[in-house]
Amino acid sequence: MSESLAARLAAPVPRYTSYPSAPHFSGAVDADTYGDWLAQLNPGSSLSLYLHIPYCDRLCWFCACHTKQTQRYEPVTAYLQGLFQEIALVGTRVPAGVTVTDIHLGGGSPTMLQPQDMIALKERLADAFRLAPDCRISVEMDPNDLDEARHDALAAIGLTRASLGIQDFEPQVQAAINRHQTFEQTRDAIDASRSRGVSSVNCDVLYGLPHQTLASLERTVERILSLRPDRIALFGYAHVPWMKKHQTMIPEAALPSTTERFRQMQHAGQMLTAAGYQPIGIDHFALPDDSLAVAAREGRLKRNFQGYTDDAADALIGLGASSIGQLPQGYVQNQPATGEYLRQVATGALPVVRGYALSADDRLRAHVIERLMCDFSVDLSDLSTRFTDGATMADEMRQTVLMDDDGLTVMEGDIFRLTAAGRPYARTVAARFDAYLSNGKGRHSIAV
């Protein structure tokens, strides 16, 4: 039954790291709008910063991020100068008293930065923003880039969470996705981080990759478990070659079928829970004492462009080409093209090119979708208290249960809840409350 559901319900839908999703952003929200939104931040509020480093020294064919390959460091140096300019531009527009509580460096490969540039980047942030003494700093790490000097620099900037992409340890799979990374490299990178006081380690693993089988994925998961990371993200490979041309290098005939993907997801998830990890949302697992697991148990789990988080900041500021920010008024996205991004910040302009201003209905639906993705449930009485149209949405959700022939949802008093059978299809259920999905904007990865 579950596999037949997977084949039928795995239609492409958004990942819902925002609502509305990014394909619905437009130029109606521009740099002037963004400047106004920054100025309206409440003094005393908290900020989370995401810094995008859009360079890698090799291009992984599975990757769907905004990144480019370079074998020279000069483009990275030039980009950092632009990033420093944007940091200063945004910092001058943020009211005094606003405090940064979280910083995340993503990519691309942030660990390809030279050690002195990592330290300079942290110094620029400290000059432009008020950083909390206990500010959490997470960095996406490629073990192929790392050496002792870089590990020392990461420790110097106050790294608190190391996030390592593993994907798969099988040589045949690695060759098919152009991601060569040994278990020993990964182990050594984690050991080096922990020896320098890093308190949390996250590892990413993918299912649905070319040449993956249940047996090969099991071997990878077993090796990851031997490292005992604090968090594990189990993502389904998103095959979107119409959006990322380098994915055409991946042999589609070697990709698992939808039902095989479902089996891989289920089997890997069962292995992780059996090893003592708590399931978090649709694709994360954490040890019980990890802050993400604690937030999930306490109903404080959130979802943003970085996935699941316990980040409680009032706003997320995106810095760097293509990065996305989330403010109380809505979303903003920077210029994706690196060259144009650098030209804009050089003129003293905020590099925002599009975004979305939230309506009252957007806020209501965003809340419903986030709670479904985080908690697998929504309190309908709470909806009526929080939102003017909450009662209307509650009726819509009750009607969804009545029309649900697959047993994905159920009403328990005033609680709309996904059943155990429905949890793997949280994105599919959430899509039923997406008022924009039917307009045809954007193509998405499959839901399993």
pLDDT (tens digit per residue) in 174-189: 999 999 999 999 999 9
Whole-angstrom Cα distance, residue 75 to residue 91? 24
User: Domains of the chain: which residue ranges?
Assistant: 2-357, 360-435
pLDDT tops 60 at residue 442: no
CATH topology of domain 360-435: Arc Repressor Mutant, subunit A (1.10.10)
The pLDDT value given to residue 443:
46
CATH of 2-357, one of 3.60.10.10, 3.30.1490.20, 1.10.3720.10, 3.80.30.20: 3.80.30.20
Long-range contacts of 223-228 (CB under 8 A, 24+ apart): 223/169, 223/183, 224/166, 225/271, 225/272, 225/275, 227/186, 227/187, 227/190, 227/201, 227/203, 228/287
- Average pLDDT, integer, range 93-102: 97
User: Which residue shows structure tokens 């193509």?
Assistant: 443
| Three-state DSSP class for residue 216 | helix
Q: CA of 390: how far to CAs of 119, 365, 413, 414, in Å?
A: 48, 10, 16, 13
- Average pLDDT, integer, range 251-272: 94
Tell which residue, 288, 277, 171, 261, has the closest CA to residue 219.
Answer: 171
Give the up-direction half-sphere exposure of residue 133: CA atoms within 13 A in the CB hemisphere: 0
Bridge partners of 341, per DSSP, are none
440 falls in which pLDDT band (50, 70, 90)? low
Q: What is the pLDDT of residues 118-131, one digit of tens each?
A: 999 999 999 999 99
Whole-angstrom Cα distance, residue 223 to residue 234? 14
Tell which residue, 140, 144, 137, 188, has the closest CA to residue 163.
Answer: 140
Highest mean pLDDT among 4-13, 231-240, 406-415: 406-415
The pLDDT value given to residue 275:
98
Q: What element of type H or E holds 262?
A: helix 258-274
The pLDDT value given to residue 444:
47
